[in-house]
Amino acid sequence: MMTDDLRDELPADLDPSAFVGPYQFPDNSRRRWPGVLYLVIAAASVAVYIGFSDAAIVNVGWLVAAGVLAVVGVFSITSGWRMHVDETQALVAAQQALGFPVGHASAQQVWRGVRSRPTWRVLCYSAEDPPVERGLVLVDAIDGEIIEHLRERNPDADISTHLDQQPDPDANPDAEPESR
């Protein structure tokens, strides 16, 4: 078998080219499976240490490895939160928290805290053209609670308004008339 025949593939649920429609974020509860595997390997390492302690290749390193794998396994299982709020629900919650009609918006999944609790970071712009206000909202992806939000005037709207204004020659009496 040649190396050209070997190809790395994404799992079917993560392959973006095979999916039509709105993207669905994978659920964080998938982290639990590796955690279970780590715990099984840790238990097997302890069993090897106990059962074959007189073998030449079995030493205290097996117990150290089992301890590390057990800690990582417990962490993986406890940080495998099941998400109950999708990005659409997070966008609705963000609009309610900000209190203005939302035009353009974007949701990004992030994690916070030691146990990696999934959170939606939602950036929203008001519906005017150009948007007058913008807001950033953090929505908990497990229970939909608004963690925090920021609402402010859109500084880009001030710049675009400034650029659209043409100088008024009548406003300045010292201005010279245009020559033709």
Q: What are the pLDDT digits (tens) for 78-126?
A: 888 888 988 889 999 999 999 888 888 888 989 998 888 999 999 999 8
pLDDT in tens, 17-59: 766 666 666 777 888 899 999 999 999 999 999 999 888 888 9
| Distance in angstroms (rounded) separating the CA atoms of residues 163 and 91 | 31
DSSP 100: S
pTM score, whole prediction:
0.63
Q: Residue ranges of the alpha helices (H) in the chain? A: 32-51, 61-78, 87-98, 155-164
- Which secondary-structure segment (H or E) carries 136? strand 133-140
In DSSP terms, which residues pair with 111 in a beta bridge?
Answer: 118
Backbone torsions φ then ψ of 57, nearest 5 degrees: -95, 0
Residue 83 is predicted with a pLDDT of 87
Quick check: 38 and 73 in contact, CB under 8 A? yes
| Distance in angstroms (rounded) separating the CA atoms of residues 133 and 115 | 34
Quick check: 101 and 84 in contact, CB under 8 A? no
**Coil, strand or helix at 39:** helix
Residue 161 is predicted with a pLDDT of 52
| Distance in angstroms (rounded) separating the CA atoms of residues 25 and 109 | 8
Exposure of 83 by Cβ count < 10 A (0-12 exposed, 13-18 middle, 19+ buried)?
Answer: buried
